[in-house]
Amino acid sequence: MDAPQKKIAVVTGAGSGIGRSVALALAGAGWSLALAGRRLAALEETAAAAGSAEVLCVPADVSDPAEVAALFGAVRERYGRLDLLFNNAGTFGPAGVALEDISYEAWRSVVDVNLTGAFLCAQAAFRQMKEQDPQGGRIINNGSISAQVPRPNSVAYTATKHAVTGLTKSLSLDGRPYGIACGQIDIGNAATEMTERMQTGILQANGSLAVEPVMAADDVARTVLHMASLPLSANIQFTTVLATNMPYIGRG
């Protein structure tokens, strides 16, 4: 009997936070990895923490079509196939800026990373999964609970994360003939660099400032690993993982 084929995953935004935690969880489960992010040194730190796992580090700006093409070309050359894309790279944009004061440049930078970047990576992964033999694979998008409800002064981030939900649905539908599954994880208050200000006080819907509970990024990673470990005949379409006591239910 042939040995089971090693699974190959691309993780974007893998140099820190949720991306790093997910990469390490996949490595611990025996996956081979391609880590993408803007900072090579941060990617190499993740790779070093992955122990004996096979890891390819590819510096890439997901908003740049040429760099995305180079990323997936490197994956194809190194591994020959792709089983999973964790589409994670994202940016919140300027914090605490009122809607009417957001510059076009600031709006565009969030859209370019969170939406266009997610599309470019998904498109490249989809193309590879469709063409490879055996055909198929899985894409997991990081949606955020801002794909469901907004925070004050977060119009760019919220709009792009709502759009990611549409991307997830379209990928799921268009992937059916090719064995390509797509799901989305909406995350609330994982303890990362992006959420540090929640632990010192963050603006609430009623205008007050409040410290919000957070959860470990490893709790998110375990959920992504479960999603990734399912056979392609099964899919977790949407799931929400959040700090139990954060102000989400009844946020407004």
Radius of gyration of the chain (CA): 18
CA distance 252 to 236: 28
CA distance 82 to 78: 10
Question: Cα 62–64–66 angle (5° rounding)?
Answer: 110
CA max distance for the chain: 63
Residues 57/71, Cβ–Cβ less than 8 Å: no
Amino acid at 242: L
Residues linked to residue 215 through DSSP beta bridges, in sequence order: 190
CA distance 201 to 182: 35
Catalytic positions, written as ranges: 157
